[in-house]
A and B are shown apart, each in its own frame.
Chain A
Amino acid sequence: MKLRRVTIKNFKLLTDVEVSFSTSAEKPLTVIRAENGSGKTSLLYALLWAFYGTKDLGPSPGELRLSSTHWPPREPCEISVRVEFEATDYETYAGQERPTTTTYVLTRTVIETPGDGNVVTREREGLIVHAQSDQGADRLEDAAARALIRRLAPEEIKNIFFTDGDSVQRFITGELGPKARQAAVHEAVRALLGLDSLRTAVLDLEHARATFRKRLAAAPGAQALEEIQSKIDLATTSQAALTERETAARERHVNITEAIDKRDARLYELKDLGDRDKITKQRDVAKLALTTAEAQLEAQKRAQRDLMKNESICWTFIGSTLERGIGVLQGLADLNVIPGTAVEVLRDRIELGQCICGEGLEEGSARRQAVVALLQEQLRVEPNRQRLTGLLHSSRLLHDQHQQQELSGEGWLARLDEIETSRAGIERQIRDQAEALKECEEALRRLADTDINRLLDAQVRDRAKRDEFVTELAELALKIAEGKAELEQLEQRYEVAKAQVKVSQNLHDRVDVSDDLLRLVQKTMETLESEYLDRASERMNDLFMRIAGSTPEVPTAVFNEVRITQGYDIEVQSGGYGRTLDPDFEINGASKRALTLSFIWALMEVADVSAPRIIDTPLGMTSGGVKQRFVDLLTQPPSDHELQIVLLMTRSEVAGVEDLIDARAGMVETLSCSYQFPIDLVNDWGEAGPAVKACACTHRQSCHVCARLDDHAHKLIYREG
C-alpha cells in the first residue's frame, strides 16, 4: 500500500490541509517539513483516525477531542479525512505473475460538537471506501472496506507504521526490562510475520482433519486405523500438555533470572559501598576532623569578636581625630602650659618675700597681694593641667603602641583579613568533612538496613531453582522431541493403515488434503519463527552496524553485533571481549532509535510488508555521521520490495541531510501554523483563529506562508507563492 494524498478538514488545527506523498519507486521518500507546533503530530493522528477510527487514539474516546480547542462551543464541527492510496496485488496469469494496482479513496467523517469546558459530543463516524477503476469509482461494502484496511494496514502493526521518534526509541528499549522487551519484540514479530493468522489456520486445519479422520476411522474394517488414531490423539494431547508445561517452565525461568539479576545488581551496589569497618574508620576520621575544625572556627569567631571591640578599631577608624586631640595637648606642652610649674615658683617667691623681678613682697604690699591672687588662680587650674598632662602622656604611649602594631602588620584591617581568610579555609574544611561524614553515615545506614546474608541466601536458593528449571526445560525438550518422533511414527503407521481402509476416494482425498495443508502451515510457521527470525536478525545487524558506523573487526568498537535471539530478546554485543550491553541502559538515545528502526525495517523487509512508514521527528538526538547514515539507509530505494517512507521533520532535523533529501525525496512540502506569528513566523496570514497551512516549499525554500525569523540560519531561498 502506498499513500497518494490526504485531505484533512477541521481535524485539530488542520482546518483545510492537503498533503501529497511520493509513490515513486526511485524516490520513495516524502518529507513534510514542520517546526514544533506546526501540525506534524496532528497529521499523524489524522491518518491514524482515518484508517482505524478513535480506538486507541487518545486516553479514552470520551476524553478525545478531534476538533480544534478554538472551535466555538455548541457549534457542530464537521471533521473529515480523505485518504487516497494505492495497493498492488499480484495475480498469476498463464504462469506469469502480473501486478495489478488499484487506487482507493477512504473517507472518514464525523460531526463533533464542543460543549462547555472539555466536554465534546461526537456523532457516529462514517467510513466510505471507493475503489477507482477505468469505469469509475465503486463504493465498497462496509465489511469489504474494513477487510481491505485489515489486509493492507493491519491494526496490530499500526504503531509500527505510524509512529514518532520517541516511541521508536521506547519501542524495544527504554527501561523496559528483558521480559517486557521480549514481549514487545515477540509481539512485533508475530504481527509482522502474520503468525497469529497462521496459528488460527493450524487450529482450523486440525479441526477439519480430525473430522475427516473420524469419518475414516468409522468405516468398516478400520479398527487398526481407529486404534492408531486414538494413539495419535493421546500423543497429541500429551504433546500439548508438554508444550504448555514448557511454556510455564520457560516463564518461571525468565522470572527467576530477572529476580537473580536484580539481586545481583543490589549486591553489586552494596559491594560498591565498601567494607563496613573501613567506612566506620573513615567516619571516625571525618568526625574527628570535623570536631577539630569546628573548634578552630569557634576560636576564629572569638578572635573576630575581640577584634570588633579592641583598641585597634579606634585607631583605624578615628585615628585622625585622636591624633588631632594629641596635637592640641602637644601645643599646650610646647607653650609650657603643661605640665604646670607656676604654683611652686609663686609659693617660693612669697616665702622668700621677693618677686622674680627683684622687687620686695612685703606683707600687706599691693605687689604681694597680686602674687598671692596669681597663686590662687594657678591652684584652681592645676588639676586640669594635671589631667591634660596625664592624658598627653598616656595618649602618646597608646599612639606609639598603635604605630608599632601597624608596622608589624597587626593593625585592625590586617588582622581582619587574616581572620577571614582563616575562617574561609576552616569553613571549607567543615563542609568537606561534614559531607564525608554524611556519606559514611549514609553508607553505614544502607549497609545496616540490608541483610546481605539474607540476599546471598536468596541468591543461592534461586540459582539452585533456576538450575532445576534448566534441567526441567531440557527434560521437557527431550520429551517433546520424543513425542514428536512418536507422532511421526504413528502418522506413518496411520498412512499404511489408511491405505487398507475401503472408503470412497473422496474421503481419502479429503483426509490427505487436510493432512498436507496442516503440515504445510506448520512448516511455514516453523520457517517463519526460525529461519525468518534469523534473516531479520542478520538484516537488523547489518542496518544497525551501518547506521552506528561500527566495525565489528575492530576490537575497540562500541558495537560488535546486534541480534534477535530465539527467545525474542535483542542482544547487543560490545568490545573485543564479547560482552553484552543492556539495550535499556547501556546504549545512548541515538543508538536506541537506530536499533529499533533497524529491527522494524528488517522485519518489514523479511516479511515483505509494503505499508508506508510514517515517522514523526525521526532524527532527534542524532547528528553528524550517524544522522547521515540514518537517513541514507532508511530511505534507500529497495530493489526487491516496495517502500514508501514519510518523514515529518523540523528544520534542524533537515540540516545536514539536505543533499540526501534532494536525492531520495519525490515530494517535499511544508506545514506552518498561524499562531506562531509574530514570535517565529514572519508574515500574518490574516486568519481569524489558529490554523495550519501546507505550502509547496521544499526543504531549501521559504515563502510568504512558511517564512520564519530564523530562516537565514538555514540558507533558504525565497519562493514566490
Chain B
Amino acid sequence: MLTDSNPYASQDLFVPRQWHDSYQRYTIQARAEARDLDATPYPRMIDMWWTALCVGLREGRRSPLGDKPAKFADGAILSSDPWRVAHIGLIAVAEEGPEVLERPGDVIRIVSEYAATGSEWLVQVMAGHAKPMKPLAAALRALLAE
C-alpha cells in the first residue's frame, strides 16, 4: 500500500539558477531539431531533477541552491509518481532520522541539495551534444561502475 497523501504538495521545488536553462533545453521540445527524442532525454523537468537527485546521492555530496534558485515545479507534481514521495521520505530518514518527516520543508531542502550536485554533473555530461541520450546513458553506466 502506497501512502496516498503527499506531505510535500505545498513545497516548491528549486534548482540552482545557473542550471535552469539546461533543464529547459533537455526537457522541452521547443526547437525543430529537438523533435528527436534523443535530443531531450527527459519529458519533464521533474524527471531530470530526479536523476540529478540520484546522481547527487551517489556522489554523496550536497550543494547549496545558491541565491535566487529557480523554481521549476510545485511539490504536488510528486503525486503523479507516488513512489517518489516514499523515496524522498526514505532519503530524508536515512539522512537525518525519523523526526525529519515532521518538517517537510527540511525534507525537500535535503533532496534539493543533493539534486543540485547531480544537476551540475548532468549538464556537464550532456553539454555539447545535439542528441545527448547516448552520452548520458554511457556516463550513467560509468558512474555505476565507479
Question: Which residues from chain A sit less than 8 Å from chain B, CB to CB?
Answer: 298, 301-302, 304-305, 308-309, 311, 313-314, 316-318, 321-322, 324-329, 332, 384, 387-388, 390-391, 393-395, 397-398, 413, 416, 420
The segment from B14-22, B61-69, B71-79, B85-93 that touches chain A is: B85-93
**A391 near B3: Cβ-Cβ < 8 Å:** yes
Chain B residues positioned under 8 Å from A416 (CB to CB): 137, 141
**B1 near A309: Cβ-Cβ < 8 Å:** no
Contact of A322 among B37, B81, B91 (CB under 8 A): B91
CA distance A298 to B50 in the complex (A): 24
Given contacts A388-B101, A393-B1, is CB(A305)–CB(B133) below 8 Å?
yes
**B90 near A387: Cβ-Cβ < 8 Å:** no
**A308 near B42: Cβ-Cβ < 8 Å:** yes
**B93 near A391: Cβ-Cβ < 8 Å:** yes
CA distance A566 to B55 in the complex (A): 86
Contact of A304 among B51, B55, B58, B137 (CB under 8 A): B137
Chain A residues positioned under 8 Å from B144 (CB to CB): 316-317, 413
CA distance A420 to B50 in the complex (A): 22
Chain B residues positioned under 8 Å from A322 (CB to CB): 87, 90-91, 94
The smallest C-beta distance from A549 to any residue of chain B, in angstroms, reads: 56
**B2 near A397: Cβ-Cβ < 8 Å:** yes
CA distance A151 to B95 in the complex (A): 107
CA distance A58 to B143 in the complex (A): 67
**A391 near B87: Cβ-Cβ < 8 Å:** no
* Number of B residues, CB within 8 Å of A: 44
Contact of A308 among B47, B58, B81, B102 (CB under 8 A): B47
For B101, give the chain A residue with the smallest CB separation. Answer: A387
B43 within 8 A of A: yes
**A317 near B137: Cβ-Cβ < 8 Å:** no
Given contacts A321-B90, A328-B94, A328-B98, is CB(A311)–CB(B133) below 8 Å?
no
**A321 near B57: Cβ-Cβ < 8 Å:** yes
Given contacts A308-B51, A317-B58, is CB(A391)–CB(B37) below 8 Å?
no
CA distance A397 to B4 in the complex (A): 14
Question: Which residues from chain B sit less than 8 Å from chain A, CB to CB?
Answer: 1-3, 7, 36-38, 40-44, 47, 50-51, 53-55, 57-58, 81-83, 86-87, 89-95, 97-99, 101-102, 133, 136-137, 140-141, 143-144
The smallest C-beta distance from B90 to any residue of chain A, in angstroms, reads: 3
A-B contact pairs, 29 of them (CB 8 A): A298-B37, A301-B37, A302-B37, A305-B40, A305-B43, A305-B133, A308-B136, A309-B43, A314-B50, A317-B57, A318-B54, A318-B91, A321-B90, A322-B90, A322-B91, A324-B90, A324-B94, A328-B93, A329-B93, A329-B98, A332-B98, A388-B98, A391-B93, A395-B86, A395-B90, A398-B2, A398-B83, A413-B141, A416-B141
For B98, give the chain A residue with the smallest CB separation. Answer: A388
For A388, give the chain B residue with the smallest CB separation. Answer: B98
CA distance A100 to B97 in the complex (A): 121
CA distance A384 to B144 in the complex (A): 35
Contact of B90 among A317, A391, A413 (CB under 8 A): A391
The smallest C-beta distance from B23 to any residue of chain A, in angstroms, reads: 13
Q: Which among A304, A318, A388 has the highest number of chain B CB atoms within 10 Å?
A: A318
CA distance A304 to B141 in the complex (A): 14
Contact of A394 among B38, B86, B133 (CB under 8 A): B86
**A391 near B86: Cβ-Cβ < 8 Å:** yes
Chain A residues positioned under 8 Å from B91 (CB to CB): 318, 321-322, 325
Chain A residues positioned under 8 Å from B136 (CB to CB): 308
**A321 near B101: Cβ-Cβ < 8 Å:** no
**B41 near A308: Cβ-Cβ < 8 Å:** yes
**A313 near B3: Cβ-Cβ < 8 Å:** no
The smallest C-beta distance from B74 to any residue of chain A, in angstroms, reads: 18
Contact of B89 among A302, A305, A317, A391 (CB under 8 A): A391
**B137 near A305: Cβ-Cβ < 8 Å:** no
For B131, give the chain A residue with the smallest CB separation. Answer: A301
Q: Besides the contacts A328-B97, A395-B89, what 5 more A-B pairs have beta carbons closer than 8 Å?
A: A322-B91, A322-B94, A394-B2, A394-B82, A416-B137
For A401, give the chain B residue with the smallest CB separation. Answer: B83
CA distance A416 to B43 in the complex (A): 18
**A305 near B87: Cβ-Cβ < 8 Å:** no
**B98 near A313: Cβ-Cβ < 8 Å:** no
Q: 10 nearest interchain CB pairs?
A: A325-B90, A309-B47, A325-B94, A317-B54, A301-B37, A324-B94, A325-B93, A318-B57, A394-B2, A390-B3
